[in-house]
């Protein structure tokens, strides 16, 4: 018998070789019908695999991220089986589960071009195959046998992947007539896949290498119920309306230029002003918490990032070294701000009385993302982090961490991100090579985060293996207006960079000690944060942030002069206003400016001019009556103060 421990700390005994499905059946017949995957000792596995030793387990259903992963991974294999049946001779690259659904990179063959109109037939074939209720069967074979198998299929993509693997056992998965190289996990069988939608076709270079062949990437999503798919497709249509790339263009916030380069956004005047207001908002908060602003260059010597460990971990994702006229001198475009801030700390000797020191910077960094991974502002090659690094004594660590939590919570409240969860990301004890630093320091860092969250009353989930390479972290996972999850704010505890950069302070004992670092970025990056904010608000930004707070609409040309006078008064009162003096009917002007998402429409005609007033209309709230310009300015200022929590 073996002992199986459950998340509620209960323990049961089962015969050696018991499967997750057997365990689920012993607990509930309904659970056995719904279970999709199992985590055994922090490893996600097929629910049908035998468990041979004492283990802690967690059973996953559809509502769990792990359950969806197994469901969508299995759906990718089902799609490959359907494609194999419809397109004999097709070759297969990789087919993973992704955040919402799955994809498969395929090579249809010379002269074969798949189109969006072909996807309906693939969907139908997938459902036909799913109804056959075939099992997903795992097979362990030698590397030589795996090579021989895919050699007979003449599948060069799989052969390349296998050749890159270490010698030893290779796992294949088979369902129906399709066999794939895969480590799993998968569903017990195809039966749970009841609804499928293939969403799009795109090009993708093999293994992300722009010098390799471009394959056909087919994206899809699947569900255990048709109703879930129907609801998702409605959500997808709403998401298209809120797409930050579409709204950003309509509101003239940002653009991209092929001449500048992919993934390098150009902020237009309105977008730059909006971004500047976000920066001012955070700078004001940081002043209240005694942060000091610093500025660091966009490049640094390669050795700086070798010292920090970033080059070893992320060198392949960085822009490659910039050579100068000096022999042997190499620079990198800055991939992270923290090494630069460490050097600022080293500028002069530090005493324990100087700590904590809090450096903040809106620092632009650069990562070489593959072109196929770029997406509007959410995935770019150059982005600005609202970065800060706190250097403190170990006894100050927990209080400083809690203060950063307070900053993040205030930002989320002000910007109406009310629906969020917090995730404590710890290292994976079974994969130590991913991390740097001593066991002792990791334990201290992880304990500080967990205790700080408990003392702040945060309900957290713990994710093992999601820590940064230099330390554990607290991530804030925000749900937007459509219920989509985004990772925004992050706070990280780091004992390791102070070691690598030999940072010191003189303690009360007159001895030298190492400070602890806290890395924090409440927005994450300005680009990604603005993208999420656009989609969360559908471009209807809060009044204090929106590019234009009001527009003056003269009823006819006769009132243009009065409209200009109103505009001047508003601008003199620091109200962001524009005028629409087109020779159009007032109804059209109102409709057009509502589409521009301008919060207040100020209509002026004969009566308003005679009384020295404006007629106020609020976006989504209709007519607010007539008032003087001064009264309107007070109304705007009061609303802004309320939104910012200043009253």
Annotated binding residue 392: no
Active-site residue 423, yes or no?
Answer: no
Query: Nearest-CA neighbor of 639 among 621, 613, 614?
Result: 621
Annotated binding residue 338: yes
Catalytic residue, from 84, 175, 385, 549: name it. Answer: 385
Active-site residue 342, yes or no?
Answer: no
Active-site residue 214, yes or no?
Answer: no
Query: Nearest-CA neighbor of 377 among 264, 469, 222?
Result: 264
Active-site residue 77, yes or no?
Answer: no
Catalytic residue, from 182, 338, 342, 453: name it. Answer: 338
Catalytic residue, from 68, 302, 389, 427: name it. Answer: 389
Q: Which helix (H) or strand (E) holds 106?
A: strand 101-107
Task: Give dist(CA 26, CA 209) in Å, integer.
Answer: 48
* β-strands 357-366, 292-293 pairing: parallel
Catalytic residue, from 46, 105, 386, 387: name it. Answer: 387
* β-strands 37-40, 55-60 pairing: antiparallel
**What are the DSSP calls for 109-144, one per residue?**
-TT----GGGHHHHHHHHHHHHTTT-B-EEEEEEHH
What phi and psi, each to the nearest 5 degrees, are found at residue 42?
70, 10
What phi and psi, each to the nearest 5 degrees, are found at residue 399?
-65, -40
What token pair was written down for 509?
């004992």
* Inter-residue contact 356 to 400 (CB < 8 Å): yes
Task: Give dist(CA 605, CA 218) in Å, integer.
Answer: 56
Q: According to the 3-state scheme, what is the secondary structure of 156-218?
A: HHHHHHHHCCCCCEEEEEEECCEEEECCCCCCCECCCCCEEEEEEEEEEEHHHCCCCCEEEEE
* Inter-residue contact 11 to 5 (CB < 8 Å): yes
Task: Give dist(CA 253, CA 276) in Å, integer.
Answer: 12
Active-site residue 387, yes or no?
Answer: yes
* Inter-residue contact 123 to 101 (CB < 8 Å): no
Catalytic residue, from 519, 520, 528, 576: name it. Answer: 519
Which residues fall within 8 angstroms of residue 451, CB to CB, at 6 or more apart?
A: 398
* Inter-residue contact 308 to 500 (CB < 8 Å): yes
**What are the DSSP calls for 311-340, one per residue?**
HHHHGGGSPPPEE-SSTT-EEEE-S-SHHH
Query: Nearest-CA neighbor of 576 among 249, 277, 283, 267?
Result: 277
Task: Give dist(CA 173, CA 140) in Å, integer.
Answer: 9
Catalytic residue, from 367, 479, 500, 618: name it. Answer: 367
Specify the residue for token string 């719904």: 34
**Conformational region of residue 17, where left means phi above 0, alpha means psi within -120 to 50, and beta covers everything else:** left
Burial code of 28-45, b = ≥16 C-beta within 10 A, e = fewer? eeeebebbbbbbbeeebb
Active-site residue 385, yes or no?
Answer: yes
Catalytic residue, from 138, 473, 520, 528: name it. Answer: 473
Active-site residue 432, yes or no?
Answer: no
Q: Would you say the C-alpha torsion 498, 501, 506, 511 has a positive or negative sign? A: positive
Q: Which helix (H) or strand (E) holds 451?
A: helix 439-455
Residues annotated as catalytic (active site), given as ranges? 338, 367, 385, 387, 389, 473, 519
- Residue list, annotated binding site: 338, 389, 519
Known binding positions for Zn(2+): 338, 389, 519
């Amino acid at each position: 018998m073996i002992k199986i421990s459950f998340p509620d700390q209960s323990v049961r005994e089962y015969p050696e070789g018991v499967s997750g499905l057997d365990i689920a059946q012993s607990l509930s017949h309904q659970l056995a019908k719904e279970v999709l995957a199992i985590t055994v000792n922090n490893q996600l596995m097929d629910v049908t695999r035998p468990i041979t030793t004492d283990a802690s387990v967690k059973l996953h259903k559809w509502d769990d991220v792990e359950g969806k992963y197994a469901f969508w991974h299995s759906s990718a294999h089902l799609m490959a089986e359907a494609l194999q049946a419809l397109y004999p001779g097709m070759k297969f690259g990789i087919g993973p589960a992704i955040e919402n659904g799955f994809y498969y990179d395929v090579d249809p063959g010379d002269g074969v071009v798949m189109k969006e109109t072909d996807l309906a037939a693939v969907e139908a074939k997938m459902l036909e195959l799913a109804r056959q209720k075939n099992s997903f069967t795992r097979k362990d074979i030698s590397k030589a046998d795996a090579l021989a198998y895919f050699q007979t299929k003449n599948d060069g993509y799989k052969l390349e992947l296998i050749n890159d693997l270490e010698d030893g056992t290779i796992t294949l998965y088979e369902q129906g007539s399709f066999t794939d190289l895969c480590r799993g996990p998968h569903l017990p069988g195809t039966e749970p896949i009841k609804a499928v939608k293939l969403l799009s076709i795109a090009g993708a270079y093999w293994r992300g290498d722009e010098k390799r062949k471009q394959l056909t990437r087919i994206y899809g999503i699947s569900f255990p119920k048709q109703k879930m798919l129907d609801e998702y497709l409605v959500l997808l249509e709403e998401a298209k309306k809120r797409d930050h790339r579409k709204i950003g263009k309509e509101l003239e916030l940002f653009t991209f230029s092929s001449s500048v380069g992919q993934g390098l956004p150009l902020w237009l005047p309105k977008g730059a002003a909006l971004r500047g207001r976000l920066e001012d908002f955070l700078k004001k908060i940081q002043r209240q918490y005694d942060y000091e602003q610093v500025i660091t260059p966009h490049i640094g010597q390669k050795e700086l990032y070798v010292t920090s460990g970033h080059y070893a971990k992320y060198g392949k994702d960085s822009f490659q070294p910039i050579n100068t006229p000096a022999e042997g001198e190499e620079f990198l475009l800055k991939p992270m701000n923290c090494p630069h801030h460490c050097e600022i700390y080293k500028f002069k000797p530090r005493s324990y009385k100087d700590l904590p020191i809090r450096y903040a910077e809106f620092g632009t960094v650069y990562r070489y993302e593959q072109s196929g991974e770029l997406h509007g502002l959410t995935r770019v090659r150059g982005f600005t982090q609202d970065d800060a690094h706190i250097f403190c004594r170990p006894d100050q660590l927990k209080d400083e961490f809690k203060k950063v939590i307070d900053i993040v919570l205030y930002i989320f409240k002000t910007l109406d991100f009310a629906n969020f969860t917090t995730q404590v990301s710890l290292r994976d004890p079974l994969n130590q090579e991913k991390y740097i630093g001593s066991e002792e320091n990791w334990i201290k860092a992880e304990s500080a985060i967990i205790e700080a969250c408990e003392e702040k009353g945060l309900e957290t989930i713990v994710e093992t293996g999601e820590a940064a390479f230099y330390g554990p972290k607290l991530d804030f996972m925000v749900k937007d207006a459509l219920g989509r999850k985004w990772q925004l704010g992050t706070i990280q505890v780091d004992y390791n960079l102070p070691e690598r950069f030999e940072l010191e302070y003189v303690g009360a004992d007159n001895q030298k000690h190492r400070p602890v670092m806290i890395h924090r970025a409440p927005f994450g990056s300005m680009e990604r944060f603005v993208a999420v904010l656009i989609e969360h608000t559908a471009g209807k930004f809060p009044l204090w942030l929106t590019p234009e707070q009001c527009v003056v609409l003269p009823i006819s040309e006769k009132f243009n002069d009065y409209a200009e006078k109103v505009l001047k008064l508003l601008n003199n009162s620091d109200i962001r206003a524009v005028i629409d003096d087109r020779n159009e009917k007032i109804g059209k002007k109102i409709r057009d400016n509502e589409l521009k998402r301008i919060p207040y429409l100020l209509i002026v005609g004969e009566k308003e001019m005679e009384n020295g007033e404006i007629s106020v209309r609020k976006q989504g709230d209709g007519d607010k009556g007539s008032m003087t310009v001064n009264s309107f300015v007070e109304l705007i200022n009061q609303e802004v103060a309320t939104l910012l929590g200043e009253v």
